[in-house]
A and B are shown apart, each in its own frame.
Chain A
Amino acid sequence: MGNCFKSSSNDDISLLRGTDTESNESAIEHPPFVEPPPPYRAQPEPQRRMPIYHPSPSVSRPANQLSEDEQIKIAQRLGLINHLPTGKYDGTNKKAKECVICMNEFELAEPLRYLPCMHTYHKECIDDWLMRSFTCPSCMEPVDAALLTTYQTN
């Protein structure tokens, strides 16, 4: 069971990616299917250190100390996050210029993730947040509920 958690980027082949969810302005210049750099803090010695997960926002525990329920919840969460569309910043979106999590401006070709509420963040920043709380940090919209409506209207 614990093996599912080794990396959150392995099953990045999202059904939504490459479809036209957000791509009207992206994916023209850049090769669209280049794997983005691994999300999360790349740990210097990944073999030896267990990845840390957050069964609730203020709790941090290594993967081998999670209850079975927590493991299932986290695995589901990882799956859901990987279904959220990603892209690279191409400078054309005039509204989203800054990631409100790290407060840095987006730079060209940085990996981004788009939430169903249309708020945009650095992929690395928002993935870290979504593993703690599955809501948009800007509008507090629960991401799973919004995901469902997105699927239904499609």
Chain B
Amino acid sequence: MANIAEQRIKREFREVVKSDEVAACNIKVELVNDNFTELRGEIGGPPDTAYEGGNFKLEINIPETYPFNPPQVKFVTKIWHPNISSVTGAICLDILKDQWAAAMTLRTVLLSLQALLAAAEPDDPQDAVVAQQYKDNNAIFQRTARHWTTAYAGGPNIDAELEEKVTSMKNMGFDEHKARVALSTKDWDVTRAAEYLIS
């Protein structure tokens, strides 16, 4: 790994990541290996959103050319959000692509991701299905996102009706996660979700 990248990550750990402000914002970063190329991040869902109460884990890879190129970040925790792939966790966020600047840090990246959770941009989607639902049926979107937060990110809100639909499909022999994806995609219509899984 290039020297400057490693030095910067070390500095960021010392000076930025461990600050009190960062703890107050509910974000954190840990090392995965010793050479500072792989990191694990975590952000708390912002208050008054469908993600509130959830903890979302992120996989962060530092390129050799950091900070001249952005870190590669994706969600490990499954999440229902227009700008994050519900399948791969890939993120569509300008500062992780062409709007990256060398003065940005892991802290600014994590805070930006938190801001993205609070303010989705459905017109620049990563997950077309989710973005469509966000625009066409926002109430269902909010409920689905909240349900995913509870199911995958340890969120506190149990939606008994949605829970029950997942269980009923599980009882038909479908895998729980696949059933949840199908139901979420088909606006929680059990019949259409089952057809979707069979086809």
Binding site for B on A (CB under 8 A): 57-58, 60, 100-104, 125, 128-129, 132-133, 135, 137-138, 140
Contacts and interface: CB of A to CB of B under 8 A. Distances in A.
Secondary structure at chain A's binding surface: helix, strand, loop or mixed?
A: loop
B69 interface: yes
Contact of A58 (B12, B69, B102): B69
B69 A103 contact: no
Contacts of B7: 102-104
Given A101-B102, A103-B7, A125-B4, 17 more contacts: A57-B68, A58-B69, A58-B97, A101-B67, A101-B103, A102-B4, A102-B67, A103-B12, A104-B7, A104-B11, A125-B102, A128-B68, A132-B69, A135-B101, A137-B103, A137-B104, A140-B101
Contacts of A135: 101
A140 B98 CA distance: 12
Contact of A102 (B8, B15, B69, B100): B8
Interface in B46-86: 65, 67-69
B100 A103 contact: no
A133 B97 CA distance: 12
A128 to B, nearest CB: 6
A124 to B, nearest CB: 9
A129 B11 contact: no
Interface residues on chain B, size class: 10 to 19
Interface of B: 4, 7-8, 11-12, 15, 65, 67-69, 97-98, 100-104
State the 5 A-B residue pairs at the shortest beta-carbon distance, nearest first: A137-B102, A137-B103, A103-B11, A137-B101, A100-B103
Contacts of A138: 101, 103
B161 to A, nearest CB: 45
Identify which of B7, B15, B67, B103 gathers the most chain A CB atoms within 10 Å of its CB: B103
Among A57, A133, A135, A140, the one with the most B-chain Cβ atoms within 10 Å of its Cβ is: A57
Of A57, A103, A128, most buried by chain B (CB within 10 Å of CB) is A103
14 contacts: A57-B98, A57-B100, A101-B67, A102-B4, A103-B7, A103-B8, A103-B11, A125-B4, A125-B102, A128-B68, A129-B68, A135-B101, A138-B101, A138-B103
Contacts of A58: 69, 97
B36 to A, nearest CB: 13
A79 to B, nearest CB: 21
A121 to B, nearest CB: 9
A80 B47 CA distance: 47
Nearest to B105: A103
A104 B102 CA distance: 13
Contacts of B12: 103
